[in-house]
Amino acid sequence: FKRILTTYPLFLEYPDSSTPFVLTTDASGIGIGGILRQDTRSGTKINYFKSRVLDDTERKYDTIEQEALAIFWCISELRSYIGDSDFIVETDHKPLENFHKKQINNKRVMNWLFKLQDILPQIIAVKHRPGAHNAAADYISRHFPPSTSPNINPSTINVTHDDRPIGTEYWDEHVPKPQCIQYTEPSILKHTCIHNASINAQINAVTTRAQSKLQAQPRSSSANTSSTSTISQSRCSSPPMATPLHDFSLSRIRSEQAQDVIIQQILQQIRNNRRYESFTIQHGILYKLAYRNDATIKLVYAPSKLIPEIMAAYHDHPLSGHFGTGRTWSILRNTYYWPRMKETITSYIKSCDKCSQFNVDRHKPPGFLQPIQPPNEVFQVL
């Protein structure tokens, strides 16, 4: 899922100061959204995605008010990003075309215009974008996680299917859905109940505020006891879904290497009696030979399909600690190998949401400048 967010077409680009921004907005019955992009000579660069759910009052707005709210909210949220740059606004609501230069007979819309009067001179134009070409903004204004829209009545909303392609007319490829890692080995499920119980005991040692409130409530009936015992039994019968097990067995590695094109090319060249002193084949698995502490060790050549699972197991797992680049690299470099390994680890850790949210900056603050003594006369050599 992280690779999808950090690659084309969802990857966010740095702004180009020589090209004006284009803000495309849209509103639906449940939410509003906008996309900030730049149409450069090298192609379209996406700078920002923004969306939120409408509250109960905003869902009662007229269509023109909801579309204007999408423009007002997106500009308000992105004004620090846009800065002093000029930008174009695109909307699929025809009556709002160049609304910043004409009088609109709607007090709520005019009130929003009044709040944006300091940034209105930066708007080059407000253009009409047909709804058929506004798929990207329309998508993010309709699709929200279930937890962010608890008050929405499903019977009154026309929800589109999630397989709808994401993008504007500039995007020419479909983004695959993130795949969940499933448990493929039955033996893993059979022998990990006791191990998972010890892991859960370590993970559940931290009590949240919601759990402490629940524990403080008196247990008044035997039904609660029976339900608690049922939950505990179900925890033992199946592994925790929050921390999925990753299958790195030799059989899995062998099957994944058989489907990897680059690995198969190396295996074919080795079988053709070509000298590859840094590689070896054992039991049908390709290994990389490396030297560590005056000794030669074998490193599993990780197939490209297993790299995201390896990074998730050695970095994202609750018992992995979300270590930094150096420590994660020192752990993985003694077990696995793949091209540009350290670059992949660095990019993966930099894109980790929890690391960027909770890691604090431990560098010392910069010191004061040490000014030089002012000269005593003109053209004095310092």
Q: In the chain, list all ranges with CATH 3.30.420.10.
A: 2-146
Torsion on CA atoms 336, 337, 338, 339, rounded to nearest 10: 150
The CA distance from 16 to 37, in Å, is: 10
Q: Which of 141-150, 215-224, 293-302 has the lowest mean pLDDT?
A: 215-224
In this prediction, residue 157 carries a pLDDT of: 40
Q: Where in the chain is the domain with CATH 1.10.340.70?
A: 250-358
Q: Does domain 2-146 have CATH number 3.30.565.10?
A: no
First and final CA of the chain: distance in angstroms? Answer: 58
Say if CB 322 and CB 316 are below 8 A apart: yes
What pLDDT digit, counting tens, does each position of 323-363 carry?
888 889 988 988 899 999 999 999 998 888 888 888 777 77
Alpha-carbon gap, residue 33 to 112, rounded angstroms:
17
CATH code of domain 250-358 = 1.10.340.70
Largest interatomic CA distance in the chain? 93
Q: What is the pLDDT of residues 245-266, one digit of tens each?
A: 678 888 889 999 999 988 898 8
User: Does residue 170 register a pLDDT over 80?
Assistant: no
pLDDT on residue 182: 42
pLDDT in tens, 14-65: 888 889 999 999 999 899 999 999 998 888 899 999 999 999 999 999 999 9
Whole-model pTM? 0.41
